[in-house]
Amino acid sequence: MTTQELAKKAKNNMILPPSIISKNILCDIPNDNNYGAYLYKFTDTKHITRAPYIGIKKDKLPEHGGEVYWSSSTNEEFIKLVQGDEPRFTLEILEVTTRDNFDSLQLKENRMLKEYPDIKNNPDIYNLSYGIPPMPNVDNSMLSKEFVKWFDERIKSGIWTSKEGESVAELDAMNKVQISFTDSAEHIKDIKAELIKNGGNTSDMNPVLIFEGVGKKFGFDTNCDVIVGSRHGLNAAKLAKSLYMKTNRVPYKVLKEKEELFLRSLAAHDNKDETKLKKLPTKEDGAKVLLNYYNKKQISPDSNIALEQLALIYEMKARTTTESVKLAKKQIEEQRRGDVKWKDYGTKELKEIAEKRSTDKELHMTMTSGFLDIYKIFEKIVNDVKERKHCVVWLHHSHTDALTSWNKREADELKFLYEILNLHRKEKTEMTLELRTLDPWISDTENNYKAVA
């Protein structure tokens, strides 16, 4: 079928709005309709300069099974005219291509729009911006303002957003990376409560951010897709028994040349959002970013380059930035790794640790270092039916400051326990006490949500 025949058929099969005089397809359409994006142009025949509106759409044309679509313009004047009764516009389909080649249409759209100077205030065109430009050429190891701007525009445009929600169960089974310092049980609970209030509807939530095909860059066995953003929201959706969530899938061709450091920084940038339940980045989050730049590139935390990267990623307050730098320097001295996260131990997990580590000769228990409960320790010893003579108390810490505090006072705490244990005794007890610390760090590719949820 020729282009002219297709255009005639398209016009005959579609009811055009009153404002559109004609619709013409000016390009060849594959015989099997095997395309997924198109470039279109409105022309206002009543305008003194025949002002156009130029756009692109990632879909098939309505006559080939795509959604009915007349533009995504935010220009109120243009919208009113299109929705009006006066016949004045011609609509032309200039090019079609596959979904994978959508970037080529973006480039063409951008070039066409660049012909109009000061486009936002230019009366000779209805577009208010130059569209989304093609991906800028940048350093593949560090973010740039150009790339972040381009990336944010892509996210905001919805180009990578799934039309339909993806299965929460299937998303939960995917490999994930927790870019920030720790998983937050409280943040998950807050989101879960909002979801339950909304009947499990996830439409107001940030889409799950997925980097396609980069699994090996994060240390996974295959080049799988990896969830790098909105992990808290996904876990909350699972707990609220929501069935589907929207996703933002960043194509592999955008990421294939990027180094792990770049990918981690870009994923961390996802935490910069405007939702009411946003989790503000902490000094620990900032320090993790700076630590990675030092470990990978030998960039000092207080250097201009490091601070520029931190600003691009999180846009932190000045005080939090200063605290992040200070903490990163400390972690560098401790030779800390940058691909770990703080582990929060849940009640169920702590109970299992105590039970599995206890033997016929040793009694094991767990406790937070913030409150060493002497009465609980002695109660377990006194009520131990096996009358074990060796007791091990495993300490876990709510945050890094708690760990630092515990390291300073551990010896004094143990001495005090023995003093209480031997109080009013003529001879020292045969009971021995040992204080040990549960590992507070795990790989940030490990999913320990069962512990925090």
Q: What is the pLDDT of residues 254-269, one digit of tens each?
A: 898 999 999 999 998 8
pLDDT at 275: 53
Among 15-19, 96-100, 137-141, the range scoring the smallest mean pLDDT is: 137-141
Write down the residue that tokens 């997924």 correspond to.
Answer: 36
pLDDT at 429: 73
Q: What is the pLDDT of residues 142-165, one digit of tens each?
A: 999 989 988 988 888 777 888 789
| DSSP element (H, E) containing 334 | none
For range 291-308, the mean pLDDT: 91
pTM beyond cutoff 0.85: no
Beta carbons within 8 Å of 383's beta carbon, 6+ residues apart: none
Percent of the chain that is helix, strand, coil (3-state, to 5): 40, 15, 45
Q: Which of 105, 158, 154 is nearest to 132 (CA)?
A: 154
SS3 sequence, 317-331? CHHHHHHHHHHHHHH
Name the DSSP class of 182. Answer: B
pLDDT at 11: 43
Partners of 97 in beta bridges? 37
Cα distances (angstroms) measured from residue 106 to each of 11, 55, 109, 404: 26, 9, 5, 52
Name the DSSP class of 72. Answer: -
Domain assignments of the chain as residue spans, ordered by start = 3-121, 145-343+447-452, 347-437
Query: What's the chain's average pLDDT?
Result: 87
Q: What is the pLDDT of residues 440-453, one digit of tens each?
A: 888 888 765 444 44
pLDDT at 3 over 80: no
Decide: 218 and 263 in contact? Cβ < 8 Å. yes
pLDDT at 271: 65
Neighbours of 183 (CB within 10 A): 23
Partners of 209 in beta bridges? 229, 248
Neighbours of 74 (CB within 10 A): 10
Q: What is the pLDDT of residues 316-354, one digit of tens each?
A: 888 999 999 999 998 899 888 888 888 888 888 999 999
> φ and ψ at 266, to 5 degrees?
-65, -40
pLDDT at 111 over 90: no
Decide: 452 and 380 in contact? Cβ < 8 Å. no
pLDDT at 284: 87
pLDDT at 374: 87
Name the DSSP class of 151. Answer: H
The residue that leads in pLDDT, 14 or 188, is: 188
pLDDT at 26 over 50: yes
pLDDT at 12 over 60: no
Q: What is the pLDDT of residues 193-234, one digit of tens each?
A: 989 988 989 988 889 999 999 999 998 989 999 999 888 889
Rounded CA-CA distance 397/369 in Å is 6
Q: H-type helices in 56-134, by residue range?
A: 76-82, 102-113
Long-range contacts of range 131-135, CB-CB < 8 Å, 24 or more positions apart?
Answer: 131/54, 131/55, 131/56, 131/106, 132/106, 132/157, 132/159, 133/106, 133/107, 134/103, 134/106, 134/107, 134/110, 135/103, 135/254
For range 171-196, the mean pLDDT: 85
- Going by pLDDT thresholds of 50, 70 and 90, the confidence category of residue 277 is low
Decide: 369 and 396 in contact? Cβ < 8 Å. yes
